[in-house]
Structure 1
Amino acid sequence: MKTTRLIGASTFAVAALVLSACGGGSSAGTTSSDTGTAGASSSAATGGKNITLMVGVKGDPFYVSMECGAKEAAAAAGATLTTQGPDKFDATLQNPLLDAVAASKPDALLVAPNDVKASVGPLKKIQDAGSKVVLVDTVVDDASIGVSRIATDNKLGGVKAAEALQTLGVAAKGKVLVISTNPGVSSVDARVDGFKEKAAELGYTLVSDTQYSNNEAAKAAQIMSAALAKDPDIAGVFATNLFTAQGVATGVKQAGQSGKVKVVGFDAGPDQIKQLEAGDVQALVAQKPFDIGVQGVEQAIAALSGGSVTANIQTESLVVTKDNMAQPDVAKYIYKSSC
């Protein structure tokens, strides 16, 4: 993975104005526009363009926070934003929505594709029809798709998860487990790769191949319970996203091993923070989805106005613990449930 990029000055300018207004919240078909003085020059340049944000799954606090950033950036630019998303992170559910987007012919599409291969066809159709496509959070294998690709440095996030287990006291030769969502999702696959590489460096023993929850908390809990029944001396677990982390914490708690088995989750939604406060999860690797939403709109506007477009942007992540979660520079990146 490439070295994490610094967020551009224009991103900070927008984010500084609107970060306090972001509270999360997402629903299919919501729109946002602004014709006030803020962003008037951008509005003139882009002529009130229509932008669609296709999130990976509707209602996920990560994507809700991304929508908050995208809404505010679109309003500042005088553009109209429409948000859609499938009820589950599943390409068979998202692709029909993308086909509908193709029919509506937006000026730009910000999209978190559900599969590196299965999402290619619909996105190529949209791009070939003239819409500017910006990939946010996840990507596809076809490098020709997307004028810009914006995502967390997910491999580095996986490295941070392994380092967090070490900080939490999991010693070398300790047994660890990785529970992910589905294979073929670019973001979580990179997190697994980063974690495994660092875990090997730290001398940890993986008790099994990566287990998959299908992005369902209940299934993650079942996997965790079964793993502990088979191997009760598991010392640490890395759960690669929000819903998986919810389920892992539940499984550990049901097994009566809360605190003994160190759990590091990825993402920092409201439920994860509650589990962190309760001691069911010991650390979270938080992404910065608000920033991704802001930058996604900025790159789309640049592409539409003939400005300079950055092909690849990697945003940062940070480790959240019970001890630092109240610090202002950490708390502002905790995901929200509504804008």
Structure 2
Amino acid sequence: MNTRKSPIARLAGLGTIALVASVGLAACSSGGASSSTDSAGSGGDAGVTLIVKTTTNPFFVAMEDGAKAAADKAGVKLTLAAGKEDGDEDTQIQAIENAISKGDKGILITPNGPSVVDAIQKARDAGLYVIALDTAPDPADAVDITFATDNFKAGESIGKWTAAQLGGKKATIAMLDLFNDKVVSVDYNRDQGFLTGMGIDTADAQKNGDEAKTGKYSGGDYEIVGNEATDGAEDGGRTAMETLLSKNSDINVVYTINEPAAYGAYQALQAAGKEKDVLLVSIDGGCAGVKNVADGVIGATAQQYPVKMAELGVEAIAKLAADGTKPSTTAGLDFFDTGSALVTEKPVDGLDSITAAAATDICWGK
């Protein structure tokens, strides 16, 4: 989103997300295991399966909680499934197969990689309505619709914040991405958004690590020390940071794909005695991550709202089952934008943000 709202307006706006989504709709367990719950209501006997990337990340646990609450309200039978780890496509494919066999009305999925696309098509061919949450598949039209943060804009906001904080100093950058063995949209969109926000020219918009390693950012000179995969996990962030510090100990900017990776990076920086010399930025805005902003561990993060993604997804399939109404995308986008907000204790003139205290009240979209 190009225009950011004031903290008060942002908080008020979040309260209307579900209402806006409802207007849009009218207009147009852990470790790979599955569980299900039954409810009675407007959704009748419609079955919905939520398949998240992993339950080791609290982002996806919050998403499951949001789906459960929405299923209870809408009266649908909800099944939960998760990959064993971020990137586990096989378990997700099996969960899709299970949803087809059960005769579900729809699937909500945060895709773990390109290998799930064929299984998604099989589900759609069988008549299931498939909604991606958080991560659009490639191609985006492999699903019926995506409910997600504008991940490029989220990355762009932390990039602009970082450039402003540097005050013209050279940026020696560590890029802590998600994967190095597969391509997913959330990975390259956040990465490329951050670099664009910094004022660094990118090459292929759907590829990480192919930009010039040295050059000019909006405030001065930059050097990218390297891109390392973290698998979105704390231990991955720590290892990636250690690797890049061994290449260049002068790193003063660290971009991370998410907050678990950011905290791992912080541990490596702390062990090297460099935690006070680095601008560490991330994306998620989870409750723990927001506390890290308040504590000065993370300089800025972009908050997103997985609970809303899941709630709106369940509501959309319940509505489809009840009267055939399909959800609509946000005007001008090929997905439904569930919003984001820059969170920092060091605001920048001209860049809208909210404080950690304000973000705590709405973390995960609760």
TM-score interval, normalised by the smaller of the two chains: 0.7 to 0.9
Partner of residue 187, structure 1: 186
Distance 1:2 1:82 in 2: 37
Distance 1:113 1:2 in 2: 27
Distance 2:124 2:289 in 1: 36
- Report how many aligned residue pairs link the two structures: 316
Checking the alignment, whether the CA contact within 8 Å between 1:34 and 1:79 is kept in structure 2 is: yes
Cα distance per residue 1:243-289 (max 9 Å; x no partner): 32121111111111112111012113354345334432222222111
TM-score scaled to structure 1, two decimals?
Answer: 0.82
Distance 1:272 1:253 in 2: 17
Residues 302 and 243 from structure 1, CA distance in 2 versus in 1: closer, same or farther, beyond 3 angstroms?
A: same
Distance 2:142 2:2 in 1: 19
Checking the alignment, whether the CA contact within 8 Å between 1:50 and 1:80 is kept in structure 2 is: yes
Instruction: Find out whether 1:82 has 2:100 as its counterpart.
Output: no
Give the letter aligned to residue 267 of structure 2: T
Distance 2:56 2:245 in 1: 30
SS in 1 for 2:357: coil
C-alpha displacement of 1:301:
2.4
SS in 1 for 2:238: helix
The correspondence of residues 53-202 of structure 1 with structure 2, limited to 5 A, is 53-90=50-87, 91-115=89-113, 117-169=114-166, 171-182=168-179, 183-199=182-198, 200=200, 201-202=217-218
Distance 1:322 1:7 in 2: 20
Instruction: Find out whether 1:29 has 2:52 as its counterpart.
Output: no
Checking the alignment, whether the CA contact within 8 Å between 1:177 and 1:236 is kept in structure 2 is: yes
Instruction: Find out whether 1:332 has 2:364 as its counterpart.
Output: no
C-alpha displacement of 1:168:
3.6
Question: Structure with the greater relative contact order (CA < 8 A, sep ≥ 6): 1 or 2?
Answer: 1
Distance 2:136 2:20 in 1: 26
Give the letter aligned to residue 272 of structure 2: A
Partner of residue 289, structure 1: 306
Distance 1:251 1:235 in 2: 13
Cα distance per residue 1:67-91 (max 9 Å; x no partner): 2222222222111212110120121
Distance 2:288 2:59 in 1: 12
Checking the alignment, whether the CA contact within 8 Å between 1:179 and 1:238 is kept in structure 2 is: yes
Greater shift in the superposed pair: 99-108 or 287-296: 99-108
Checking the alignment, whether the CA contact within 8 Å between 1:181 and 1:215 is kept in structure 2 is: yes
Checking the alignment, whether the CA contact within 8 Å between 1:267 and 1:284 is kept in structure 2 is: yes
C-alpha displacement of 1:303:
2.9
Partner of residue 247, structure 2: 230
Partner of residue 21, structure 1: none
Instruction: Find out whether 1:309 has 2:327 as its counterpart.
Output: yes
Residues 120 and 92 from structure 1, CA distance in 2 versus in 1: closer, same or farther, beyond 3 angstroms?
A: same
Checking the alignment, whether the CA contact within 8 Å between 1:299 and 1:310 is kept in structure 2 is: no
Cα distance per residue 1:167-193 (max 9 Å; x no partner): 444635322221111141211210011
Give the letter aligned to residue 176 of structure 2: I
Give the letter aligned to residue 191 of structure 1: R
Partner of residue 19, structure 1: none
Distance 2:289 2:110 in 1: 22
Residues 58 and 174 from structure 1, CA distance in 2 versus in 1: closer, same or farther, beyond 3 angstroms?
A: same
Structure 1 unaligned residues grouped into runs of 5+:
16-24
Distance 1:206 1:303 in 2: 50
SS in 1 for 2:142: coil
Residues 270 and 250 from structure 1, CA distance in 2 versus in 1: closer, same or farther, beyond 3 angstroms?
A: farther
C-alpha displacement of 1:52:
0.7
1:47 to 44, 51, 56: 44
Checking the alignment, whether the CA contact within 8 Å between 1:246 and 1:271 is kept in structure 2 is: no
Distance 1:87 1:264 in 2: 27
SS in 1 for 2:146: strand
Checking the alignment, whether the CA contact within 8 Å between 1:180 and 1:188 is kept in structure 2 is: yes
Residues 77 and 225 from structure 1, CA distance in 2 versus in 1: closer, same or farther, beyond 3 angstroms?
A: same
Give the letter aligned to residue 88 of structure 1: E
Structure 2 unaligned residues grouped into runs of 5+:
5-12, 23-28, 201-216, 330-334, 347-354
Distance 2:93 2:124 in 1: 14
TM-score scaled to structure 2, two decimals?
Answer: 0.77
Distance 1:3 1:122 in 2: 38
Checking the alignment, whether the CA contact within 8 Å between 1:158 and 1:192 is kept in structure 2 is: yes
Residues 249 and 194 from structure 1, CA distance in 2 versus in 1: closer, same or farther, beyond 3 angstroms?
A: same
C-alpha displacement of 1:302:
3.1
